[in-house]
Structures are given as C-alpha cells and as structure tokens.
Structure 1
Amino acid sequence: MTERVATTLGLYPLPDWAKDELSDLKGHQKGDLVDGDEGPGVREAYERVREELIEDQRAAGLDRIVEGQGRWDDFLAHPLAVHDAVETGGIVRYYDNNNFYRDPRVVDDLGASGDVPAELDTATGLLNEDESLQAVLPGPYTLAELATDEHYGDEAEFLHAIAEFLAGEVEALPAHETLFLLDPSLVTDPPEGEENERVSDAVDAVAAATDADVVLQSYWDAHEEKTYAHLMDADVDAFGFDFVAGDRDAHLYNVTEFGTKGSISLGLVDGQNTAVESADTVAERIDWVLDQIPSQTFDTVYATPNTELAYLPVSTYREKLSVLAEAAEIAPETEVSA
C-alpha cells in the first residue's frame, strides 16, 4: 500500500519578531542579507527561530520535520555562502523573483564545512522520539549554477567539487529519514550535451553518502527529456515534480516515456501564493496524478509545496503546513476529476 507523507522543502519564513530582532542585532536595515558574522545574540535568536519552526510543523502534524533553514538568507546558496573557501560577492537576483542572495565566489578547495550538520544536530535534540527528521540541501547542479568558480577553472571539475562537498556534508548529518536535494536549476537552466551525464553522476555521488531515502526535487518547470532520461541513472528514491507552476503534461510524458523511481514527490501547494488551498483539493490533486500513472504503484508519495515557503507570510505558511498534513490523511478516491 502506498504511504502518503506530508512534508515540505524547508526554507521557512522568519517569524516577525525574529526579523526585527535579527535586523537590530546585525546592524542592518530590514531585508539586508547577513554578512556571516554571527555573535552570541544572533546565534541565540536563531536557536529560538529553529524551535519555533519545528513547533509549527509539529502543530500542523507533518510526517517529516525539517530544521527550517531560518539562517539561510542566501536561500539555496547558503551552504557555500558560509564556507571558509568562499568569498561572497555582489547581490544577485534569486531566479525570476524579487528575492536576492550574495554571489558565492569559490576561491579555494572546497571541503566539508559542517554547517548544515551542526544545524541538524541541534534540530535532532528538539524532536520527540516518534518524529522523523528530514534533511534539506541544494542539489549539486543548482549549487554550482548559483556560485561563481574562481578556483577550479573547469566546469566539470567544479561540479565534481560541489558534489564532493555536499557528499561530505551529508556524511556528517545526524540520523535522518529522508534527504531532499532541491535542484530547480535543472529545469530553469538545464544542462546541455555531455553535461547531463556529469549532473547525473553528481547527484548520484551525493545520494550515495546517506542510507536515507533521497528525493531529487526540481520546481518552476518540467525537465527536458534528455536531462530527465540521464537523471534516471542516478540512484535516488524519488523525483519531485512541480504540479503547480510546472507543465504537468510534460511531467507525465517524462514519467510514462522514461519511467520514474519507486517513490514520487508531488509539489501540489503553491509556495509563492497567499491563497490557501483546501485539504480536499490537495488530496484530489494527489489522486489525479496517480491516476495518470496507472502502470506504477509507488512505495511513498510525498505531498509538498511546489517551492520553498520563505516567500509567504508566517500565518499563511502555517496554514499551508496544516493543509498538507490533513490532505495526506484523506483516503484516496477511486474516481477524481482533474
């Protein structure tokens, strides 16, 4: 029987109190990006943020708990932005929206930094015995695309170094049930030619660093055929598909033409729109997608937002967490409409 799991892609909005307090502590105007210099007051504030974000998920009833990534002001570029081998450059637009991050310029050899493992070590201490931790990291291709290489001098070598860095971070993680690799650049700026094979190898290298279930999640669009076909060679447990902003016909074509993994992750709640879906609507969307793939029975269906949730007001993000949790509990219908 297919298990339905309600979870998210992490990167939650900061509580309102934290925006004000952290802005004062860092000596910045509101909305500025952090400079990586975290004194005791900043660290203590982020600890309280982490506790609140975990409690939000607990209150909603999610099946997997993420750390929340309250410190990730640079979004998916964060693991590099705080790395000793990286110098942060100018402000860059984060994909095609009104959010920005600091350009991480890699200037030396990348090694595991331990930043994300430290976050998750702390998060683990906040979980109850019956709660399951989910780790969240950028996928290797996205992290390479968001960064600037000023050290390796070769695209293939740089992607390999990024993958090895992420694999080192994964190896140092505390016990976790699932690992979500967020790789939206795979669809917004897809690899070309032989790069597709290198990307698949890079994803495989990161996934091999954990015994947990690994979900490779892209969003905002659908994979090009060649990219998707190569990704099928990567040893991950599930692909994630954006059924909100993405081309659902293209998703279904790839799945039926090239197959897919034994589990599937479905982005069905809009992570960038304040309109709150009903749990019944989300459950119907799950049923509809599965009805389009009658030849396959999945071990697990992950019900997620289609993107990170940092774009939403705090009250809306909390509502959407509850919607996901409730939708995953609704029994499948035998007949649903699109």
Structure 2
Amino acid sequence: MTEYVSTTPGLFPLPDWAKDDLSDLKGHQKHDLVSGDEGEEITAAYEDAREEVIGVQQDAGLDRVVEGQLRWDDMLAHPLAVHDAVETRGIVRYYDNNNFYREPVVGGDLGFSGDVASELEAASELTDGDLQAVLPGPYSLADLATDEHYGDEAEFLSAIADFLTGEVDAFPEHETLFLLEPSLVENAPEDGLDKRASEAIDRVASATDADVVVQPYWGALEEKVYAHLLDADVDAVGFDFVASREDNVYNLQEYGATDDVSLGLADGQNTLVEDPEAIRDRVDWVYEQIPVTDFETVYLTTNTETFYLPYGKFEEKLAVLAEAADLAEVKAA
C-alpha cells in the first residue's frame, strides 16, 4: 500500500518576534556579520526560532520535520555564502521574484564547511527519527553562484557536487533528504550539461542512506532534463502542480517516474489556505492522468519554499498538508 508522507521543502519564514529581534540585532552587529561572526545574541535568537518552527511542525503532525533554514538569508545560495572560499558581493534577484540574495563568488577550492550539518545536529536533538535534511541541488547552487576559480562550467558543477557530497556525509542521521533544484526549470541546462547535472545530483544522493527527493519547482522540467534526471539514483522526483499541471503530467505520461514521487500541491507563495480535502482530491486528479499509480511513497508538500508566506498562514499550510496526508492514507486503506 502507498505511504503518504506530509512534508515541506523547508526555507521557512521567521516567526514574527524573531524577525523583529534579529533585525535589531543585525543592525547593531553589521561588522560582526561581515566577518562571519553572528554573535551570541543572534545565535541564541536563531536557536529559539528553530525550536519554535520544529514545534510547529510537530504540532501540525507533519511526517517529516525540517530544521527550517531560518539563517538562510541568501536562500539557496546560503551554503556557499557562508563558505571561507567564497566572497559575497552585490545583491542579485532571486529568480523572478521580489527576493534577493548576495552573489556568492567562488575564489578558491570548495573544501568542507559543516555549516548545514551543525544546524541539523541542533535540529536532531529536537526531533524523533523523522528529520528531513534540505539542501540546494548541485545544479541550482552552481547556477546561483559565480565561478572565479575553477574556470570551466563542467568542472565547477563537479566541484559543487563534491562540496555538497562532503557536507551530506557529515549530516546526523536523517530520514529524508530534499535537494531543491528550481534552476533545472528556471535556467534549464543545455545539451550535455543536462546529463552532467543528473550525474552531479546522483553523486550527492549517494552520500546518504536516507531517501532522496529531487524537488524542482516554478514550472515543469524540459523533456530531456527530466529524462536525464530519471537516470540519477534518487528515490523520488518532485512536481510543481501549482505552477504547471499539463507539462508535468506530460512528463509523467511519456517518461514514467521513480518508485516514489513528491507532489507539490499546496501553494507555497499564496496566502490562500487550501482545504485538506482539496489537496487529497488533487492527488486523485494526478492519479487519473498518469498510467503509473502504484508509488511506494507519495510526498505531499508545498510546491515551493514557504519563505514568502506570513507566519500565521505558514502555520496553517503545515496543518493542511498533515491532514491531507492522513485523508489520503484513509482513502487508500
């Protein structure tokens, strides 16, 4: 029988109190932040916020709990933005929306960092075997960065994959790993690079024994990109059914799917809160469109990160996902 798992791609909004407190603290510690030292007060605020968002997920009844990525001011670029071999420069628009990040410029070898692993270590102490790790996929991270060291597109992508592999290897025990790959949609790799992107994802996925989900979003993958992605040794590929229904259905119909699947059915950017029954009905709609419906695991998630939502709406979305997964389990039984 199919298992329905409620989860999120992470990158949560800060609790309102933390947003205010951290804004004040960062305003007083600009020099420390530039030097990479967040200071005890900022660190403590993030720790309290992490504990809160983990508690919110647990109270909602989500099957997988993420750390929240509340420190990721640079969004998916964060793992590079805090790396010693990387210089952050001007402000760059984050894909095609009104959020921005500091451009990470790689100027040296990307050795081990451990920044994300330390966040997950803290989260693992607050969870109970249901921890889900979140990382940018290697293609998206390379796409968001600027290379001034490796000098070759393929070599740079390979270096990013090696870097992420080393980071994953240091993670505490986790049930699932979500690799977020919006650049596969937003800036699709050309011939040749599409295969290398899949190989890079495969390399990162091999660093963990956890189930690995590759989650593209903001649309559907081009056919060749999707076909190559299926060659990677991952457990599930995700689909953004909020932004693109027909093209995602087409890929599933023409090329099939992995044994597991991740369905982005709740809108991670819209404040309208869906009914759990509506999400369950959308699962049925997807099943009606495709020939393969005997997935081992179906992840029910928002289509994008929820960073854009007001905190109260974010909390409501979590509860909807958890209830929708329960409804789907009952119907399947």
Q: CA deviation at 1:20?
A: 1.3
**Alignment match, 1:311:** 308
Partner residue of 1:300 out of 297, 301, 319: 297
Gap regions ≥5 residues in structure 2: none
**Alignment match, 1:7:** 7
Q: CA deviation at 1:27?
A: 1.4
Contact 1:283–1:332 (CA<8 Å) still a contact in 2? Answer: no
**Alignment match, 2:213:** 215
Q: Match of 2:218, as an amino acid?
A: W
Q: C-alpha distance in 1, partners of 2:206/2:299?
A: 21
Q: CA deviation at 1:318?
A: 0.1
**Alignment match, 1:55:** 55
Q: Give 1:1-338 correspondences, 5 Å limit.
A: 1-27=1-27, 35=34, 36-127=36-127, 129=128, 131-246=129-244, 248-331=245-328
Q: C-alpha distance in 2, partners of 1:112/1:56?
A: 32
Give 3-state SS (helix, strand or coil) of 1:181's partner: strand
Give 3-state SS (helix, strand or coil) of 2:112's partner: coil
Contact 1:140–1:162 (CA<8 Å) still a contact in 2? Answer: yes
Report how many residues are paired: 328
Give 3-state SS (helix, strand or coil) of 1:27's partner: helix
Q: C-alpha distance in 2, partners of 1:319/1:305?
A: 12
Give 3-state SS (helix, strand or coil) of 1:101's partner: strand
Q: Match of 1:266, as an amino acid?
A: L
Q: C-alpha distance in 2, partners of 1:65/1:296?
A: 26
Q: C-alpha distance in 2, partners of 1:91/1:158?
A: 22
Higher helix share: 2
Runs of 4+ that moved beyond 6 A: 332-335
Gap regions ≥5 residues in structure 1: none
Q: C-alpha distance in 1, partners of 2:328/2:218?
A: 28
Q: CA deviation at 1:293?
A: 2.2
Q: Match of 2:115, as an amino acid?
A: D
Change (3 A) 1:295 1:15: closer
Q: C-alpha distance in 1, partners of 2:187/2:28?
A: 33
RMSD between aligned residues: 1.5
Contact 2:4–2:329 (CA<8 Å) still a contact in 1? Answer: no
Q: C-alpha distance in 1, partners of 2:252/2:20?
A: 45
- What TM-score do you get using the length of structure 1 for normalisation? 0.94
Contact 1:287–1:333 (CA<8 Å) still a contact in 2? Answer: no
Q: CA deviation at 1:291?
A: 2.4
Q: CA deviation at 1:294?
A: 3.4
Contact 2:4–2:328 (CA<8 Å) still a contact in 1? Answer: no
Q: C-alpha distance in 1, partners of 2:110/2:283?
A: 40
Q: C-alpha distance in 2, partners of 1:334/1:205?
A: 37
Q: CA deviation at 1:28?
A: 6.3
Change (3 A) 1:303 1:78: same
